[in-house]
Amino acid sequence: MRIPKIRLSCVVVFLLVTAAGGYWTHLTQSLATTERGVLMRDLVNSQASAVERRLSRSLASTYILAQEVRQNLGMFDGFELYADEILQSIGGVSNLQLAPDGIIRYIHPLAGNEKAIGHDILKDDRRRKEALLAVEEHHLTLAGPFELVQGGVAVIGRNPVYLPSENGEKFWGFASALIFLEDLLKVTELDQLENKGYRYELLRQHPDTGVEEVFAQSVEPLNQHTQSVSINVPNSTWRLVMSRPGAAVNWRAAAGYLTSLFAGLLLAWILFYFLQQPEKLKKVVKQKTEELASLAFHDHLTGLANRRLLSEQLAQVLRQSERYGTQGALLYLDLDDFKRVNDSMGHDAGDLLLEQIAKRLSSVVRDSDIVSRLGGDEFGVLLLDANSVRNVGHIAEKLIEQIEQPVAIELKQFVVSCSIGIAMIPADGADVSTLLRNADLAMYAAKHAGKHKHMFFDPVYQQQAEQNLRIEHDLCSAVENDEFVLHYQPLLDMKQNVTVGYEALVRWQHPEKGLIYPDQFIGIAEETGKIIDIGYWVIREACEVLKVLKRQHGRDLRVAVNLSPRQFRDPNLLDEIRNIVRASAIEPTSLEIEITESTLMDDVDDAVHTLQQLQKMGISIAIDDFGTGYSSFALLKRLPVDKLKIDRSFVMALASDSSDQKIVRGLVAMAHTLGIKVVAEGIETSEQHTLLKRYRCDFGQGYLFGRPEPIVSTDEEFTAVAES
């Protein structure tokens, strides 16, 4: 009876082990295949995005060139110098062309492109369709890729230029930018990836046949494991298809199954060795338990300790300090403007940056010290046996210096800084929560002091936090008690030198503290949500003032009101504004809504819908502080916007900085191309005023024309009362 039982046990063990091994092999292969697919999809998206960004930026040169032609009514003296300046500013463009009546007359640089002079675009059968489409739709079109008369393969963006005439607009010709395909692909990593075994094809739908054709490809053809993504280009769509090297290696799966079979036979044959298995299983369980514990106490992205582990270590340091009199320090770090990386490059690039920062932090401190990631872009460093404030400050300076070293992400260099708050142990807290709070307060003090620095905790910060709490408490009743007032800054028409409207700016007339400016309470109102009540109060007050202005001046003036990001996302926004406008009985066209471009980036589709609904009411839309964020003109074309407000930082240095002059001139030209008016903020000198008028800026706002002041109305007169 014993032998049959042993045989049965051997069969059972063989079947179990073989099945388990086969399942494990299958699971491993599935996970590997899934991982390769995810990585491949991210890789294709990044390469396609690089092509689309470069193409969009390069084609922007045609708008600038077209604007200059329109401003000069078709005459273009000094084309070479102007085109050279555009090429140096934008980059990625091989040459710029002007083709009056569709015939290429001007090319810069001319060397090597002489054969193209005199070429009639509208009669060239190969590219005539795209040219006629541009003329018909009044939009930039992209032709190619194709072989050029002067040699080489390129794409060319043709922007039709129209000049005013007695019968409307008259077609003048084309402003074109030629981009060699080879130069366009240099912004990608396709060459390097091809050397690593990746393969690719770039395809487009032929404009005449409608058949998809390949215009760029790797030396080796694609294999069966491909990923593709669309690239949006003017009047067409390209498609990038890539395949990964080394498709799933089947011999590994075969080896796994054979190994499982062999293990089952071996274990069935030497069954008595299974007496040792319980001990082995205990070791495996212990290892897995340790791995799970590690996951519970460490950050999954950087591998650093997490907040939970840091808190436990802090508690232990406090106990040791109380028992042995030892000292330490807690450093609370926050990366400055980290959102800029996420917005411009995506969250994957942001994760890569965080991993690099984690390594740099660990390289500065001792192995016995603890570096942790507290969440987002916040880090904590626990320094043990830190007896000298001077030494702690020196370490903080080294951390800032290390973090500010350039970081290479996707062939781009990023430089970020950090702000550090320091709490000494045990001087600045007797428990974990107090230490974390005080280090956090010191870090915010460093940020408010200008960032890029470290600061030690001071009880004054706690007082400031308490003051903020009092402000938060007082805000709860400020709207009901009618404690807010509006000051109005005039908006000047730059051509006619007359005031055409005002911007409403909120102030808090606190019953005890007097007049409080927005920088002291708007941030708190935004965090607590009270900004929504304040925002609707501002709109109601502005509408009432609009009636006063019309009664006084006998015509409709416009008042602009700023919307905070939180109020812009309020689901009741459209209904509230609609009800306020109806109740006040004003002309909706007299009301203007201003939003910052960063507000639009959170959810572009929802933002577009909201702006469209506001415009349907008759309300005009302005983007405030334009130029300081990361939105592109490709995105701007989607937005229903009436005005752009150029940020005052560009205007302040306008008279002395040629780079800012080029930026402002380019912004004005591009906005006018899209039919958008331009407002310059912060005008304080006549020299700034003169330059902006020269650049054809539409409106101006600043101390040169008037400071923000209250507007009051009596039965007899309309009086602007200066700020106290």
Q: What percent of the chain has pLDDT above 70?
A: 88
Contact 273, 256 (CB under 8 A): no
Q: How far is CA 381 from the centre of its chain?
A: 28
Q: How confident is the model at residue 362 (pLDDT cuts 50, 70, 90)?
A: very high
d(CA 69, CA 619): 33
Q: How confident is the model at residue 17 (pLDDT cuts 50, 70, 90)?
A: confident
Contact 647, 627 (CB under 8 A): yes
C-alpha torsion sign, points 623, 53, 226, 194: negative
**Structure token digits, residue 306:** 């997490």
pTM of the model: 0.47
Maximum pairwise Cα distance, the chain: 119
Q: What is the dihedral of CA 192, 198, 201, 202, to 10 degrees?
A: -40
DSSP 535-595: HHHHHHHHHHHHHHHHHHHSS--EEEEE--HHHHT-TTHHHHHHHHHHHHT--GGGEEEEE
Q: What is the pLDDT of residues 210-262, one digit of tens each?
A: 788 888 888 888 887 788 999 888 888 889 999 887 644 456 667 766 777 77
The closest alpha carbon to 422, from 391, 443, 447, belongs to: 443
314: number of Cβ within 10 Å:
24
What's the pLDDT score for residue 563? 92
103 secondary structure, DSSP code: B
**Structure token digits, residue 381:** 């460093």
- Angular region, 382: left φ>0, alpha ψ -120 to 50, beta rest: beta
The region of weakest confidence among 131-140, 456-465, 633-642 is 456-465
Residues in Cβ contact with 513 at an 8 Å cutoff, skipping those fewer than 6 apart? none
- Pairing outcome for strands 454-456 and 418-425: parallel
Which residues are 205's β-sheet partners? Answer: 212
Q: How many residues comprise the chain?
A: 724
Q: What is the dihedral of CA 427, 430, 436, 439, to 10 degrees?
A: -10
Q: How confident is the model at residue 718 (pLDDT cuts 50, 70, 90)?
A: very low
- Angular region, 661: left φ>0, alpha ψ -120 to 50, beta rest: alpha
- Alpha-helical (H) ranges within 175-244 are 181-185, 190-195
Tell which wins on pLDDT, 291 or 573: 573
Query: Is pLDDT of 691 > 70?
Result: yes
Q: Give me the amino acid identity at 697.
A: C
